[in-house]
């Protein structure tokens, strides 16, 4: 009896123990399940929004970058796209620049300009000799290796060959810069010549003005003889050699309608020189 009683008492103690340590829940199983389901749904929704937002930002970034690249590319193309015109030997070429400005290129001369950028900068690069009739407007620049000429609207001639640089103003006024950054302002019928890095200004005879505009006259004022020969070669498309040193400065003016033999006679005679005809396109200067 005592044993049975004792055993029964032990069983009651164990039941009381487990009933005391068993956790107490404030929520039912269904409530817990609903909260878990809602939490999972909310997490999936936030993840989906995050994934959708990232590609949208990337697309906007690339669209802006592409627009900037396109803008810069277009600007660079407009700025540096150039067009060049070359006048061959013994010829004369008239070039119409944007806006109505006309350029008359002389033999073996080249002009380069930037047509797509013209409204922002009227600028040309000249190698050789050219006559300019500039329409009034923004600043107009003629660039060369030995100097630059800047005008607003006028007519003038630029000679830029080898190491020689000569600018003659016919109408309006021009500012001439040498490669040493020296500058002078030319009024009508004035000429600036680059001598030892300095610009020397002299008066140009007004009576020859129309002849120069017609491009029908050679006009040399104390020009080195080798340059005179070079001009004759370019105009007539011939080759002229010499067996003597041509250390002279030549001054003279004559029509370009004369034959090459007549011109050579005129320039050689004052210095006791003559020439022989080697072939149809070749001449040789000798001392008399």
Residues 198 and 222 in one domain: no
Mean pLDDT of 23-52: 58
Whether 27 shows a pLDDT value over 80: the answer reads no
In a domain, residue 119? The reply is: yes
**Among 124-138, 216-230, 237-251, whose mean pLDDT is lowest?**
216-230
Q: Could you tell me the pLDDT band of residue 249, with boundaries at 50, 70 and 90?
A: confident
Q: Could you tell me the pLDDT band of residue 20, with boundaries at 50, 70 and 90?
A: low
- Position 123 scores a pLDDT of 92
In a domain, residue 39? The reply is: no
- Position 261 scores a pLDDT of 93
Q: Which residues pair with 269 in a beta bridge?
A: none
**Among 24-38, 77-91, 133-147, whose mean pLDDT is lowest?**
24-38
Q: What does the pLDDT look like over 165-188, one tens digit per residue? A: 999 998 889 999 998 888 999 998
Query: Pairing between strand 140-143 and 122-133?
Result: parallel
Q: Could you tell me the pLDDT band of residue 149, with boundaries at 50, 70 and 90?
A: very high
In a domain, residue 220? The reply is: yes
Q: Could you tell me the pLDDT band of residue 136, with boundaries at 50, 70 and 90?
A: confident
- Position 3 scores a pLDDT of 44
What is the number of domains present in the chain? 2
Domain coverage including residue 96: 83-212
pTM of the model: 0.53
Mean pLDDT of 50-71: 71
Mean pLDDT of 210-237: 74
Q: Could you tell me the CATH number of the domain that includes residue 155?
A: 2.60.120.1440
Mean pLDDT of 137-149: 91
Whether 18 shows a pLDDT value over 80: the answer reads no
Mean pLDDT of 120-139: 90
Domain end position, chosen among 212, 240, 263: 212
Residues 188 and 235 in one domain: no
Domain end position, chosen among 154, 185, 212: 212
Whether 212 shows a pLDDT value over 70: the answer reads no
- Position 72 scores a pLDDT of 75
Percentage with pLDDT > 90 across the chain: 25
Q: Could you tell me the pLDDT band of residue 124, with boundaries at 50, 70 and 90?
A: very high
Residues 199 and 224 in one domain: no
Q: Could you tell me the CATH number of the domain that includes residue 278?
A: 3.55.50.30
Instruction: For the chain, give the mean pLDDT.
Output: 79
- Position 42 scores a pLDDT of 60
Whether 273 shows a pLDDT value over 80: the answer reads yes
Q: Higher-confidence residue: 126 or 51?
A: 126
Whether 45 shows a pLDDT value over 70: the answer reads no
Whether 54 shows a pLDDT value over 80: the answer reads no
Domain end position, chosen among 163, 180, 212: 212
Whether 53 shows a pLDDT value over 80: the answer reads no
Q: Higher-confidence residue: 34 or 255?
A: 255
């Amino acid at each position: 009896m005592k044993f049975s009683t004792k055993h029964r008492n032990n069983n009651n103690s164990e039941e009381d123990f487990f009933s005391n340590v068993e956790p107490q829940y404030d929520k039912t199983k269904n409530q817990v399940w609903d909260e878990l389901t809602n939490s999972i749904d909310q997490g999936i929704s936030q993840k989906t929004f995050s994934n959708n937002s990232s590609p949208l930002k990337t697309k906007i970034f690339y669209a802006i970058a592409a627009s900037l690249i396109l803008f810069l590319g277009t600007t660079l193309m407009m700025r540096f796209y150039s067009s060049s015109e070359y006048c061959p030997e013994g010829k004369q070429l008239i070039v119409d620049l944007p806006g109505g400005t006309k350029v008359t290129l002389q033999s073996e001369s080249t002009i380069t300009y930037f047509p797509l950028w013209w409204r922002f900068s009227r600028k040309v690069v000249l190698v050789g000799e050219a006559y300019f009739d500039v329409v009034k407007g923004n600043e107009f620049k003629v660039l060369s290796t030995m100097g630059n000429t800047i005008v607003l609207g006028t007519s003038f001639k630029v000679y830029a060959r080898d190491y020689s640089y000569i600018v003659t103003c016919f109408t309006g006024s021009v500012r001439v810069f040498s490669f040493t950054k020296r500058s002078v302002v030319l009024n009508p019928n004035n000429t600036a010549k680059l001598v030892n890095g300095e610009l020397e200004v002299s008066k140009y005879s007004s009576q020859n003005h129309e002849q120069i505009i017609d491009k029908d006259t050679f006009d040399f004022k104390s020009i080195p003889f080798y340059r005179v020969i070079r001009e004759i070669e370019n105009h007539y498309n011939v080759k002229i050699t010499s067996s003597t040193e041509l250390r002279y400065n030549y001054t003279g003016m004559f029509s370009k309608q004369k034959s090459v033999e007549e011109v050579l006679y005129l320039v050689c005679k004052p210095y006791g020189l003559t020439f022989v005809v080697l072939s149809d396109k070749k001449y040789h200067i000798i001392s008399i």
